[in-house]
């Protein structure tokens, strides 16, 4: 009778050890130690900083590999592989969220979430993973991305923990998706491309969230969970990841222009060899 309890305790201990050593945890800890903000806010700032590091400064982020996938989004998996063009994409094989999913939902959910993440990352880069056994008819039944489906189910009143368990979504990923949905909802009158450029989420997710907001905003359960709607504002798509980060630090996290410039300078001066020992004066 005590074995399952012991096993779960060991899993939680191992997951906590992995999370404590991650770059995201280090960033969030450094941010919170230097700014009087909540742990949740520190993680949001760290998330924006990590995106800048991964997409603007690093060839490969920690836990990523390059893998040749099938180019295009309409390829049929039953075609011969040698007859289909390939594209080299970056996939995150190991991520910090894996440890939190194992801790909360177990190994099976972690494996499911890991596979879903890699499929989604390949799709966002205009390619498909070379998977077998998935027919075109089956793929056509997948009407919306996982990030849109999760928000849709939540707005319809389903239990959030159940949603995250079934879709293998960590608390951090859910918070990031909900944040993206709120931004898409606030700018639902803007084009998805413009909102995508500002928020950093792919166009197909922003478009799905905008359509979801238009459809569900008057439903009782959705109104309750949406709360007071955010004030829509005119946004412009930033030129690059550095512009996106500077805008978010100032507009969403309350940085002064001087503090923002210093923070970005520190990030730009870092390289991949120094990643394990980063100390940011945020």
- Cα 131 to Cα 70, 139, 158, 167, 210: the distances in Å are 10, 12, 31, 19, 30
pLDDT of 280 > 50? The answer is no
Q: How far is CA 280 from CA 22, 247, 275, in A?
A: 15, 18, 11
Would you state the pLDDT for residue 235? 60
End-to-end CA distance of the chain: 48
pLDDT score recorded for residue 170? 92
Pairwise CA distance, residues 83 & 246, whole Å: 44
Token pair recorded at residue 119 = 């499929």
Q: Is the confidence at residue 275, as pLDDT, over 60?
A: no
pLDDT of residue 268: 66
For residue 87, the surrounding DSSP H or E stretch is strand 86-92
**pTM for the whole structure:** 0.77
Region 120-136: mean pLDDT is 77
Confidence band of 230 (pLDDT split at 50, 70, 90): low
Give 124 or 230, the one with higher predicted confidence: 124
Give percent above pLDDT 90 in the chain.
25
Helices (H), the chain: 2-20, 23-34, 39-52, 96-105, 107-124, 136-140, 146-155, 160-167, 171-186, 192-199, 203-216, 220-226, 241-251, 257-269
Q: What is the pLDDT of residue 271?
A: 46
Whether pLDDT at 130 is above 70: no
The confidence score (pLDDT) of residue 282 equals 40
Would the pLDDT of 281 be above 60?
no
Please give the pLDDT value at position 112. 93
pLDDT in tens, 138-173: 666 566 899 999 999 999 999 999 999 999 999 989
The pLDDT mean for the chain works out to 79
What confidence tens digit (pLDDT) does each residue in 48-60 have? Answer: 887 787 776 667 7
């Amino acid at each position: 009778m005590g074995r399952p309890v012991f096993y779960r305790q060991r899993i939680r201990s191992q997951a906590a050890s992995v999370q404590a050593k991650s770059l995201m945890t280090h960033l969030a800890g450094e941010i919170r130690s230097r700014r009087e903000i909540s742990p949740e806010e520190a993680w949001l700032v760290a998330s924006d900083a990590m995106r800048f590091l991964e997409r603007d400064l690093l060839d490969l982020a920690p836990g990523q590999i390059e893998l040749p996938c099938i180019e295009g989004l309409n390829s049929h998996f039953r075609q011969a592989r040698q007859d289909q063009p390939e594209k080299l994409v970056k996939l995150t094989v190991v991520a910090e969220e894996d440890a939190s999913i194992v801790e909360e939902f177990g190994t099976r959910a972690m494996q499911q979430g890991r596979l879903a993440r890699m499929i989604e990352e390949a799709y966002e880069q205009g390619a498909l993973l070379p998977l077998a056994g998935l027919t075109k008819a089956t793929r056509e039944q997948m009407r919306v991305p996982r990030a849109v489906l999760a928000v849709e189910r939540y707005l319809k009143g389903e239990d959030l923990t159940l949603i995250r368990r079934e879709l293998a979504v960590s608390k951090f990923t859910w918070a990031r998706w909900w944040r993206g949905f709120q931004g898409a909802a606030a700018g639902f009158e803007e084009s998805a491309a413009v909102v995508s450029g500002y928020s950093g989420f792919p166009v197909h997710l922003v478009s799905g969230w905008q359509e979801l907001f238009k459809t569900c905003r008057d439903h009782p359960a959705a109104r309750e969970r949406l709360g007071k709607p955010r004030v829509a504002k005119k946004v412009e798509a930033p030129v690059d990841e550095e512009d996106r980060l500077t805008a978010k630090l100032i507009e969403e996290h309350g940085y002064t222009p001087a503090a923002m410039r210093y923070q970005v300078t520190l990030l730009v001066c870092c390289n991949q060899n120094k990643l394990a020992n980063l100390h940011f004066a945020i």
